[in-house]
């Protein structure tokens, strides 16, 4: 089982901001994914990490992962206030300086599904920090939301910016996140689907 501290995976080099980026300036940090080094087998979880003044972070069961930086992605705060439990999201979209997660019907191709929310607590942890316990909280919400799917799909969340953290109305949104586009809610998981084979184009 892989181990992680502050968003890093055991055996994986630390995630560093690309040259020219300024830690603490969310708008200048770039988009990073974490993908599999090896072919997935049933029961392994997939992950998607975004580092842009926010983090989508997930567990990779038994797989050492590597980070790939996509240069030039505008690292604006992600807008999630419109999302509710059960909503499905195709992909993040950047437009006019804001990154959004457009809701789509779950019977259309999508990459994530909202499984629950919780309020952040304590002091703001800083940029590029994976707050302790958040992965487990999202995993628990996934198990409650779709027990049959929980062993076959990863969880992810959006790390708030400092401004969002101080907003009492803000809630952390947890997702079930796949590395491929899928159709249908994971609530209807029948236990016959293979895990994601790779990153969606």
DSSP the chain: ---EETTEETTSPPP-PPTT--TT-GGG--EEEEEESS---TTPPP-----SSS------TT--EEEEEETT---PPEE-TT--TT-EE---EEETTEEE--EE-TTS-EEEEEEEEE---SS---TT---TTHHHHHHHHHHHH-TTTTTTSEEEEPPPPHHHHT-TT--EEEEEEEEEEE-S-GGG--S-PPPP-S---
- State the burial class of residue 100 (Cβ atoms within 10 Å of its Cβ: 0-12, 13-18, 19+): middle
Cβ-count burial 134-151 (b if 16+ within 10 Å, e if not): bbebbbbbbeebbeebbb
Residue with tokens 């159709």: 183
| Mean pLDDT of the residues in the chain | 64
Question: Which region among 7-16, 29-38, 69-78, 120-129 has the lowest average model confidence (pLDDT)?
Answer: 29-38
In a domain, 201, yes or no: no
In a domain, 199, yes or no: no
Q: Kindly state the average pLDDT of the residues 173-198.
A: 74
pLDDT interval class at 168 (50, 70, 90): confident
- State the burial class of residue 10 (Cβ atoms within 10 Å of its Cβ: 0-12, 13-18, 19+): exposed
In a domain, 124, yes or no: yes
In a domain, 54, yes or no: yes
In a domain, 18, yes or no: yes
Residue range of the domain that includes 39: 4-188
Q: Kindly state the average pLDDT of the residues 166-191.
A: 86
Question: Which region among 43-57, 87-101, 141-155 has the lowest average model confidence (pLDDT)?
Answer: 43-57
Does 56 have pLDDT greater than 60?
no
Percent of the chain with pLDDT over 90: 19
Q: How far is CA 27 from the centre of its chain?
A: 18
Q: Kindly state the average pLDDT of the residues 38-64.
A: 33
> Comparing 161 with 49, which gets the higher pLDDT?
161
Structural domains of the chain, count: 1
pLDDT at 95: 60
Quote the pTM value: 0.61
Question: What is d(CA 35, CA 52) in angstroms, rounded to the nearest whole number?
Answer: 17
In a domain, 168, yes or no: yes
pLDDT interval class at 125 (50, 70, 90): confident
> Comparing 194 with 158, which gets the higher pLDDT?
158
Which of 10-19, 33-42, 67-76, 96-105 reaches the highest mean pLDDT?
Answer: 96-105
pLDDT at 193: 54
In a domain, 198, yes or no: no
In a domain, 197, yes or no: no
């Amino acid at each position: 089982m892989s181990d992680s501290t502050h968003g890093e995976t055991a055996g994986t080099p630390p995630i560093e901001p690309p040259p020219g980026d300024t830690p603490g300036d969310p708008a200048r940090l770039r988009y990073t994914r974490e993908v599999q080094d090896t072919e997935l087998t049933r029961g392994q979880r997939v992950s998607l990490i975004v580092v842009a003044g926010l983090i989508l972070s997930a567990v990779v069961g038994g797989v050492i992962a590597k980070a790939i930086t996509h240069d030039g992605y505008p690292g604006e705060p992600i807008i999630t206030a419109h999302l509710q439990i059960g909503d499905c999201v195709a992909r993040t979209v950047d437009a006019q300086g804001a990154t959004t997660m457009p809701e789509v019907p779950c019977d259309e191709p999508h990459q994530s599904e909202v499984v629950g929310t919780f309020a952040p607590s304590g002091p703001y942890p800083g940029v590029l920090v994976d707050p302790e316990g958040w992965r487990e909280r999202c995993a628990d919400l996934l198990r409650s939301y779709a027990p049959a799917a929980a062993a076959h799909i990863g969880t992810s969340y959006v790390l708030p910016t400092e401004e969002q953290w101080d907003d009492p109305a803000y809630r952390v949104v947890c997702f079930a996140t796949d590395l491929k586009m899928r159709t249908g809610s994971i609530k209807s998981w029948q236990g016959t689907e293979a895990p994601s084979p790779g990153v969606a184009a």
